[in-house]
Structure 1
Amino acid sequence: MKKSRRTFLKTAVAATLGMPTIIQASALGKNGAVAPSNRLVMGGIGIGPRGRKVLACFLKQPEIQFVAIADAQEERREIVRRLVNREYANEDCYKCRDMFEILEWDDIDIVQITTGDRWHALGTILASKAGKDIYCEKPCSMTVRESQELADSVNRYGRVFQAGTQRRNVDNFQFAAHLAKSGKLGNIHTVHAGILKLVPDLPWLPGEPVPDPYICDWDRWLGPAPWRPYNKKYVQGRWRGHYDFHGGAGLPEWGSHTIDLCQWAAGADGTMPVEYEYEGDTIIGTYESGIKLVLRLSGFKKEGDWSVPGTCPIRFEGDEGWVEAGDHGNVITSHESLLEGKPEESIYGTDPIKHVRDFIDCVKTREKPAANQDITRNGHIACHVAAIGWQLGRKVQFNPITETFINDEEANRMCSRSRRDPWHV
């Protein structure tokens, strides 16, 4: 980067008035429930409505001591501060606008990154360099290149990383994937992933007066994204569908979950499809093994012809049977006998409680969690490659070894985006 973290931090601190002294995390406790030596001290970067649901799961874990929130919006900072202070019955949670304060805080072990998509990869890269373990909401990247950079950085600095693709730790989805891999469905030939309707680029909203940076730091909110006139609807969540803020034409929104599960069931966690073709709203990928990956519409309005209830549906087909699963916790199979061993109950597909626990356990053991950086790299690249072909409106071929399109410079140019100064890595 053109600015060092320390230079950036000094600039930010100098510009911020009335900032309280940072309390050392080692001095904080959860009423002695866990010995200080066993605590995992945690900070948050960008925590909105979804982030608060994830944070609530972290706060239920006895090892976790959440000490600080960094967010570009004061309203969100204050909501998190109050939530944490209410949990710990104190007033110790620190809030700030600048994520570098969190990253420079030596006592912090792990960070939760639940910003908008534009910050996910860069935030993870910076947190890795700062020696933090990371739980990052999905989609974790805006491009093929960011998917590579994220995984490379986590591996280079030896960090534990978990993407927020929590369905890997949801009972009914796990059952479906294990069933596909068990051989009980015969040879798997087709895996189906539910996706939302793709959106190439929505019209930009009209510019509005920029608020006081303490209320909403628009420059920090944008981060690596190109400069764009402020509109309050962006910071209220209406950034989705706008090219500068949302990668892959929106395909990774659900595809980061459902394609990820299909890769798992197809035994393709270490690779990705080598070819994509397009039939209307359906995208058909083909793995080198010959297995087909079918991306089919599935949305909040029950688009498509899925039989399984719930959002983010998946279907795995073999030559002896099939299985479907969705967010409502259910499993449907071609034969009732295939349901043997099915969990009696399953948490809802959007619930990250078991995913958070998996991450914490791996932070302690230094093992790789279910949605680690390498699995995330391949699943996200599969999403972005499918979206690029869709945007080009034609068949594309991809080399999973070099992670480049084959004889297709037009498509290869779409694998990366430039970052706004000073956010270069």
Structure 2
Amino acid sequence: MGGIGIGPRGRTDLSCFLRNPDVQFVAVADPQSDRRRLVKEMVDKHYQNSDCQTYHSFFEVLDREDIDAVLIATGDRWHTLASILAAKAGKDIYCEKPCSMTIAESRALADTIRRYGRIYQAGTQRRNIGNFIFAINLVHSGKLGKLHTVHANTLDPRTTKDWLPAEPEPPKDVCDWDLWLGPCPWRPFNQRYVNGGWRGFFDFHGGGILEWGSHTVDLCQWANQADDTAPIEYEPQGNHVHATYANGVKLIMRDTGWLGLGTCSVRFEGDEGWVETGDSGQVAVFPESLRSEMPVFTMAGTDPSTHIRDFLDCVKSRKQPASNASVVAQSHIACHAAYIAWQLGRKVRFDPVKEEFIGDEEANRLRSRALREPWHI
């Protein structure tokens, strides 16, 4: 395996990969020298050697024929493009979320992974975490009655298009600012961006709905057995967005009113009961009689261990993993459509087959973003 853009979250993923004896991590590419160094030190310490190679350009990782799969943990701006280039280079891919910045990128990613026959796992690990699986199974078992509403914990949707003050650009071997920006519009260097402070800036970030919705809307899609579609109507309510599926189920994306069961909470309501859970592993259910079926959950929702094992097993079997590209394309499209409705401040109607807004050119223009040359999808 090799790594592309490995920062703090990427090193958490990497530590899980290294615990698997059937993985040999051999290389990392990053435009920032300090991050290359940290990963090399981590890998070399694990293997008790100095064999991990470091590269400035990720193309050097993709060109290596001895690398079967890559861990991509760049900032959001690079996720789709790096994944597509990796697939075209014949690599399997574990990519941190979110997997796309736009509706168009979501579709391009899923189509490319399918066309090149690669195994792709998005870093939406809650599909392999026990308490979330328990909640989903309660819905699918019919023990909550007919499902009518699903709730996804999201964050403040706001982003800014402002620039931070220009600072002297570092030498390219310390931080290649042009490569760091990648497909994003050019702006002057500021150290805050490359220290992880890029979130909240529109050019680099898909907003708070996507930030957590890539996890929680994804779980709501699964609960509603809607992995092959997306809601057909979206209406902003302050910082919340209410959506409706073709089958009548309501999807509520909100950042308030939760029971305090941890970050990335979800709630599923049927006409005979409900269940709510979050990253703490705690589960609240009604009726209380359902609690007798519930085991004790100890794995935090942020732990990618079982999700990474699922990916590795699928690399070997060539079966589709839990968070494959087709599944996450749809949940990301739902998040992007909700964010577009929020940006426009009005209800929008969406055709999930054509993946376009119905009779709404203003909304349709927001389905994609221009990429800076020479990058393209």
**TM-score (normalizing by structure 1):** 0.88
- Paired amino acid for 2:9: R
- CA deviation string 1:356-408 (max 9, x = no partner): 00000000000000000010100000000000000000000000100000000
Query: If you compute each CA radius of gyration, which structure gives the higher value, 1 or 2?
Result: 1
Aligned residue in 2 for 1:274: 232
Work out the CA distance in 1 between the residues paired with 2:184 and 2:208.
Answer: 16
Work out the CA distance in 2 between the residues paired with 1:369 and 1:341.
Answer: 27
Aligned residue in 2 for 1:27: none
Aligned residue in 2 for 1:327: 279
Task: Report whether the alignment pairs 1:128 with 2:87.
Answer: yes
- CA deviation string 1:257-296 (max 9, x = no partner): 0000000001111110000112222211000000000011
SS of match in other structure, 2:322: coil
- Paired amino acid for 1:419: L
Runs of 5+ unmatched residues, structure 1: 1-41, 298-303
Runs of 5+ unmatched residues, structure 2: none
SS of match in other structure, 1:324: strand
Task: Report whether the alignment pairs 1:258 with 2:210.
Answer: no
Matches within 5 A, 1:85-124: 85-124=44-83
- Per-residue deviation at 1:198? 1.1
Contact 1:308–1:332, Cα closer than 8 Å, also in 2: no
Matches within 5 A, 1:352-367: 352-367=304-319
SS of match in other structure, 2:350: strand
Contact 1:240–1:250, Cα closer than 8 Å, also in 2: no
Q: Which runs of 4+ in 1 moved over 4 A?
A: none
Identify which of 329, 332, 337 aligns with 2:289. Answer: 337
- Per-residue deviation at 1:175? 0.5
Work out the CA distance in 1 between the residues paired with 2:95 and 2:137.
Answer: 25
- Per-residue deviation at 1:202? 5.2
Contact 1:176–1:325, Cα closer than 8 Å, also in 2: yes
SS of match in other structure, 2:26: strand
Work out the CA distance in 2 between the residues paired with 1:340 and 1:224.
Answer: 51
- Per-residue deviation at 1:90? 0.2
Contact 1:85–1:92, Cα closer than 8 Å, also in 2: yes
Work out the CA distance in 2 between the residues paired with 1:272 and 1:253.
Answer: 18
SS of match in other structure, 2:293: coil
SS of match in other structure, 2:78: helix
Work out the CA distance in 2 between the residues paired with 1:202 and 1:72.
Answer: 24
Percent of residue pairs bearing the same amino acid type: 59
SS of match in other structure, 1:255: helix
Task: Report whether the alignment pairs 1:56 with 2:12.
Answer: no
**TM-score (normalizing by structure 2):** 0.99
Task: Report whether the alignment pairs 1:214 with 2:166.
Answer: no
- Paired amino acid for 1:292: K
SS of match in other structure, 2:25: strand
Identify which of 315, 333, 355 aligns with 2:267. Answer: 315
Work out the CA distance in 1 between the residues paired with 2:5 and 2:238.
Answer: 37
Identify which of 170, 179, 187 aligns with 2:146. Answer: 187
Aligned residue in 1 for 2:131: 172
Count of residue correspondences: 377
Work out the CA distance in 1 between the residues paired with 2:150 and 2:354.
Answer: 24
Contact 1:200–1:391, Cα closer than 8 Å, also in 2: no
- CA deviation string 1:179-229 (max 9, x = no partner): 111100000000000001111325310010100011101011011111110
Matches within 5 A, 1:237-248: 237-247=196-206
Identify which of 211, 224, 232 aligns with 2:191. Answer: 232
Identify which of 352, 360, 372 aligns with 1:400. Answer: 352
SS of match in other structure, 1:295: strand
Question: Residues 328, 180 of structure 1: CA spacing in aligned structure 2 closer, same or farther, 3 A cutoff?
Answer: same
Aligned residue in 1 for 2:332: 380
- Per-residue deviation at 1:309? 1.7
Task: Report whether the alignment pairs 1:293 with 2:251.
Answer: yes
